[in-house]
Amino acid sequence: MTPIIETQSLVKVYRADGVETPALRGVDLAVAPGEFVSIMGPSGCGKSTLLYLLGLLATPTEGTVRIDGQDAGTLGDGGRTRLRRRHIGYVFQRFNLLPTLSAEENVGLPMRLRGERPGSAPREMLRAVGLEEKRRRRPNQLSVGEQQRVAIARALATRPTVLLADEPTGNLDSEASDRVMDLVGRLHRGTGQAIVLITHNRQVADRADRLIRMHDGRLVDA
């Protein structure tokens, strides 16, 4: 079976003022279609950098990222954007909801960016995360946990094959965190999408099918 996401010898080095800071040091990772993987490690170990590379939001210094067998390094900016929009949904720790848009409008935004008419899809996704009745509210009228649920609905609105989650419970209290992770697990079972989630929280990490540990830019337990 072809991995839905695969990296080979992935290296990322940040350069500033003549100083090189390695963030990833040769990462090999394969995620099967429908697999739920968590990556756990301390702050600064390279988790977020890896997720940004998997999401085609940054380019590696060396190595390869393949999405559904397609080598992203062979594509120009337009091709990478199309590959990302077709396959990747992204959930950020800070939600990144547009404050002037309603929950329904935020969920529909990725579809509009793809040139599609959202139709009833945003409302259906908000129903799936239990927020249909609050679809007309703006982010500042929602609780922190509700905002993250809107962000999850937005990430899944285009039916991506992969959901990447960057510390999705990092800004939530324990009760809201449990609700969000219950939701992620339920949606995963219902849709069969692959999920790669990074966290420093062991209880969150244990929700996944496979736990990978990361340290100093390397996968140390995969």
- 18, 216, 162, 83 alpha-carbon torsion, rounded to 10°: 20
Residue at 136 is within a domain = no
Assess if residue 119 is contained within a domain: no
pLDDT at 222: 62
Looking at every residue in the chain, the average pLDDT score rounds to 92
Specify the number of domains making up the chain.
Answer: 1
Does residue 124 lie within any of the structural domains?
Answer: no
Structural domain harbouring 72: 5-98+159-221
Is the pLDDT score of 127 beyond 70?
Answer: yes
Q: Name residues whose C-beta falls within 8 Å of residue 100's C-beta, 6 or more positions apart in sequence.
A: 138
pLDDT tens sequence across 135-176: 999 999 999 999 989 999 999 888 899 999 998 888 888 888
43 vs 164, residue with greater confidence: 164
Band (pLDDT 50/70/90 cuts) for residue 189 is: confident
Tell me, yes or no, whether 122 lies in a domain.
no
Percent of the chain with pLDDT over 90: 65
216 — pLDDT class (breaks 50, 70, 90): very high
Q: Are 199 and 37 in contact (CB under 8 A)?
A: no
